[in-house]
Homo-oligomer: A and B are copies of this chain.
Amino acid sequence: MLKKNLIVGQSGGPTAVINSSLYGVVSEGLAHPEEIGHVYGMVNGIEGFLNGTVLDFEEALPGEKLGYLKHTPGAYLGSCRYKLPESLEDPVYPLLFKKFEEMNIGWFFYIGGNDSMDTVSKLSRYAARIGSDIRVIGEPKTIDNDLVHTDHTPGYGSAAKYVASTVREIILDANVYEKKSVTIVEIMGRHAGWLTAAGALARKYPGDNPFFIYLPETAFNTEEFLAKVEKAFEKNCNVVVCVSEGIHDADGTFICEYDNSVGTDSFGHKMLAGCGKYLENLVRDRLGVKARSVELNVSQRCSASLLSATDQQEAVSAGVYGVQAALKGETGMMVSFIRETDENGNYRMRCGLEDVNEICNAEKPVPAEWITDDGADVTEEFVQYALPLVQGKVDVPLGEDGLPVFVYRK
C-alpha cells in the first residue's frame, strides 16, 4: 500500500479543548508511519486550504511542543466559517479534490460543530460520487453540546466547569452586601441551554443560588420572572439568576431583541447579546433594587485554568479514535461519545461512529423532562448527567513570566 498524507483542520468557534482533539489526530497520525506520510494542518480551515495555507506538524510543533496543544485554548490552526456550496456540481469540489490529489491526501479530518459536519458530509459525498478513496472523518467540538447522536461533545465539559466555578464565585461576590440585589449571569447558547444549565452545578447546597436558571428550550415570561425574583427575596436578599443568551418569549422574540439591534453572521444565525443587560435594567426599573449583569463571554470557551481533565482526555481520545477508524476504512462518519457505567457504577465513556449526514444541521436541545415545570430551573437528572463531565484538574505549565505557556502560530 502506498503511503498517503493526512490533513486536519479546525472550523467554527474555538473551545478550550479543540486543540486537544487536534493533538489526538496529529499524534495518532504520526504513530502510523507505515501508512501515513506527512501530517498536515489546514490553516484557517477549508477556506485557508483553498488559499493554499497548509503547515506540516513535524516542522510546526516538533517534539514535546505538540503536547502543549492539550492546554492551549483557541484554535491552533485558525478557523473559518466557510460553508461549502449545497450543489455538489459546484466547481469548488473538483478544485478541492485536485488539491487533495496534488498533496497526496488520503485522510481528511475536520474538527467542528454542526456547520463543520456539513463540510464533512459534502466532502464525503463528493468523494463517493467521484470514486475517491479519501477518508473523511468529523471530530465533534462545541461548547453548546447540541450535536445529536452523541452523549455529549468535547468542549462542553470545560465550558460547563467554567460556568459552574465562575457562577459559584459570582454568588460569593454577590453575597457581600446586605441589601436587595439581583445578579443576572448571561451564558452562551443560542438555541440549546446545556451550558446555561451548568449554572446548577454552582450550588453549594440544595436551595443555594442561582435561584433561577432560564434556558432557551422554554418560553420566558417577563412578568413571571419578576414575580419569582420578588418572592425569592424572602429567602436571601441577593438573588443570582442564570440566563441563556438565547432566551425568548412565547412569540419567539428573543428577550435581547427588546433591547438591542441584532445582526446576523455569515450562516444567517442571529448574533445575540444583551439579554442580561436588558433584564438588569428591567429589574432595576420594575423592582427598584440594585441590579447588575455579568456576560461570561468568550472565557467560557477559552479558559485554560478551568479545563476539565475529563473533557481534555475525551477530546484527545476522539482524535485518536477518528484516525484509527479512518485507517480501518471508515468515511463520512463523526466520532461520537457513548456513556457507559463501569463495574463500580461510575461514569465511563467510549467512542463510537455516527453517520455525519444524520448529524449536520440538526440540534439537540436539553430534554423537556430535565427542565422543571415552571421553566425556571433544571432537574437533578441534568446535574447527574453533567457532573462527570467537569471532573479533574489540568495543570497548565507556567512560563518564566508566571503565566500559562501556550503554543501558537506567529
User: A residues within 8 Å of B by Cβ?
Assistant: 10, 13-14, 44, 47-48, 72-75, 78-81, 161, 164-166, 168-170, 172-173, 175-178, 201-202, 204-205, 294-295, 297-299, 301-306, 308, 387, 390-393, 398, 401-404, 406, 408, 410
Contact = CB atoms under 8 A, between A and B. Distances in A.
Nearest to A274: B277
A391 B401 CA distance: 8
Nearest 7 Cβ contacts at the A-B interface: A74-B172, A79-B176, A391-B402, A173-B302, A305-B305, A169-B302, A75-B176
Given A306-B305, A406-B168, A14 B173 contact: yes
A168 B404 contact: yes
Contact of A168 (B173, B176, B298, B403): B403
Contacts of A303: 166, 169
Nearest to A306: B305
Given A402-B392, A403-B161, A72 B172 contact: yes
Contacts of A404: 165, 168
Given A72-B172, A169-B303, A308-B402, 8 more contacts: A13-B176, A44-B178, A47-B178, A75-B176, A80-B177, A168-B404, A168-B406, A170-B298
A74 to B, nearest CB: 3
A201 B401 contact: yes
A79 B181 CA distance: 14
A178 B402 contact: no
B177 A78 contact: yes
A263 to B, nearest CB: 9
A396 to B, nearest CB: 9
Nearest to A44: B178
Contact of A408 (B175, B294, B402): B175
B172 A406 contact: yes
Given A177-B81, A294-B297, A306-B305, A390 B406 contact: no
A173 B301 contact: yes
Nearest to A18: B176
A44 to B, nearest CB: 5
Contacts of A302: 169-170, 172-173
A169 B301 CA distance: 10
B173 A298 contact: yes
A262 to B, nearest CB: 13
Contacts of A398: 393
Contact of A170 (B80, B299, B387): B299
A78 B401 contact: no
Given A177-B81, A178-B80, A298-B173, A390 B408 contact: no
A48 B166 CA distance: 27
Given A164-B403, A204-B408, A73 B298 contact: no
Contact of A403 (B75, B165, B176, B406): B165
A115 B110 CA distance: 55
B177 A44 contact: yes
Contacts of A297: 294-295
A120 to B, nearest CB: 19
Contacts of A403: 161, 164-165, 168, 201-202, 390
Contacts of A408: 172, 175, 204
Contacts of A173: 14, 73-74, 298, 301-302
A48 B178 contact: yes
A300 B194 CA distance: 25
Q: Residue among A176, A201, A297, A305 with the most chain B CB within 10 A?
A: A176
A48 B392 CA distance: 39
A286 to B, nearest CB: 16
Q: Residue among A177, A304, A406 with the most chain B CB within 10 A?
A: A177
